A and B are shown apart, each in its own frame.
Chain A
Amino acid sequence: MSEAIFYLLFLSQIVLFSVYFPNKIYQRMRYVITHYPSENYPKLYPKPVGKYHRFHRRYQLANWLITAVGVITLCLSMAFNSGGEYIEPQILVWMFFMVQFVPVMLIEVSEFSQFKMMRTADKSSVRSATLSPRNLTHFIAVKWLYLTLFTALSAVFYGFYLEEFTIDIEGSAVYAAGIILLLNTFFSGLIYWHLYGKKLNPHQTETDRQKQISAAIKSLVFISISASVFLMVTLSIKEYQLDNLAPLAMTLYLQAIALFSLGNAIGSIKVDEINFDAYKE
């Protein structure tokens, strides 16, 4: 029964991260390039337009290939790896997630390069800034920050509770505490960078920038909460020897990451609401 649910959830991971969200992103990219052409919005295209078309095609192709690989992996797994003889199902899910993540990384890298070219091409001597301070609580409700802290502390406490509050350097509790600490320190750094870091896109309006900061911070906070919950689930699975639930927990966690990162970014930054006038000559 749990095996059938696992295959269903794995299929859902393939569809969500390699079909549904990539499709949304692809449509978005196509919408921008057709509705805001380089003739009217030259600042949006520091590279020749052909390169953008090529990139869109490659992005779509990469996702099609990954979907095909995913479906084949799923079929092979159902046929030959039902008991995890060759590879642990949760490792399979994790490895496939890493492959699914490649196109997202490609977009991120290409975005950084795009902004760098925009900054190089920007000949304007006038720079602007808002005279209002940006604080974390402007972008996310305090209750979410408390919940992040609560789940992180709960995960650490739960780990030590399962080990009867003994400190074993090689134990799961110390490992969980280390992961929580590292992850949240890294996320705090990213949030700080989003709030106070250099403006990457020289033409972006303050309103659009605030929307982008808000979406990024919400994603990071929600992923941090999911990670703490996932750690608690993993500790329980290990403690109560519910090993057959481990792959389910893993794929659900990865899908939560997809929802909170890509889903949140797509949902909260509507392409129609972006001020593209900033990219006119």
Chain B
Amino acid sequence: MQIFIDIDNPLPQFSQLVEQIKLAVQQQQIKPGDPLPSIRQLANDLGLNNKTVAKAYRLLERDSVIQAKGYRGSYIHPDAQKNCTVNLSEVVEDKLADVIGLLRNTGATDSEIRIAFTKVMNSNTKREN
């Protein structure tokens, strides 16, 4: 099964990878338990940075589409088919849209919302660190 990356595509390369692997799972071109190439192999074959492929794998792992098995590498998750349909980015966008709508109704300006969003994000990041 081949995957393709278009370096001129405005969609980030890691997102293209995530989408294509999810699509391959949905179309059953790769099945639960199938092994995936190592990060280095895929990065070298596609001429990408290792970090880009690692980021794609991390996101797929977070979404339980793949699972890392230590030195044995990464495999397609047993529930990958089901988990592929959940798009966390869409969920985040939907929730944010609801919150922004609510704040606008209270009279907050877009600029105030943006500043508050950045402030909350930054303070959360500092706390996590």
Contacts and interface: CB of A to CB of B under 8 A. Distances in A.
B37 to A, nearest CB: 4
Contact of B36 (A133, A195, A196): A133
Contact of B46 (A127, A134, A206): A127
A206 B7 contact: no
A51 B80 CA distance: 53
A129 B35 contact: no
A134 B44 CA distance: 12
A191 to B, nearest CB: 14
Interface residue tally on A, bucketed by range: 10 to 19
Contacts of B4: 126-128
B44 A125 contact: no
B24 A126 contact: no
Interface in B1-35: 1-9, 21, 24, 30, 35
Contact of B45 (A125, A126, A199): A199
Given A125-B6, A125-B8, A199-B45, A131 B40 contact: no
Interface string A116-155: 0000000001111111111000000000000000000000
Interface residues of B, number: 25
Given A197-B44, A199-B47, A129 B37 contact: yes
B37 A134 contact: yes
Contacts of B47: 127, 198-199
Contact of A125 (B2, B7, B41, B48): B7
A125 B46 CA distance: 11
Contacts of B36: 131, 133
Nearest to B2: A128
Nearest to A131: B1
Contacts of A129: 2-3, 5, 37, 42, 45-46
Contacts of A127: 4-5, 7, 45-48
A132 B2 CA distance: 9
B83 interface: no
A129 B41 CA distance: 9
A126 B7 CA distance: 6
A184 B18 CA distance: 38
A130 B37 contact: yes
A128 B42 CA distance: 9
B41 A133 contact: yes
A140 B8 CA distance: 38
B73 interface: yes
From A126, A134, A196, A198, name the one whose CB has the most chain B CB atoms within 10 angstroms.
Answer: A196
Nearest to B76: A131
A199 B47 CA distance: 8
Nearest to A130: B2
B37 A131 contact: yes
B1 to A, nearest CB: 5
From B3, B42, B45, B73, name the one whose CB has the most chain A CB atoms within 10 angstroms.
Answer: B45
B40 A196 contact: yes
A134 B2 contact: no
B104 to A, nearest CB: 40
B103 to A, nearest CB: 40
Nearest to A129: B45
B6 A126 contact: yes
Given A125-B7, A196-B44, A199-B45, 14 more contacts: A126-B6, A126-B7, A127-B45, A127-B48, A128-B4, A128-B45, A129-B2, A130-B2, A131-B2, A132-B1, A132-B35, A133-B35, A134-B41, A199-B47
16 contacts: A126-B6, A127-B7, A129-B3, A129-B5, A129-B45, A130-B37, A131-B1, A131-B36, A131-B37, A132-B35, A133-B36, A133-B73, A196-B44, A198-B44, A198-B47, A199-B45
A-B CB proximity, top 8 nearest: A129-B45, A125-B8, A133-B37, A131-B1, A198-B44, A125-B7, A129-B46, A196-B41
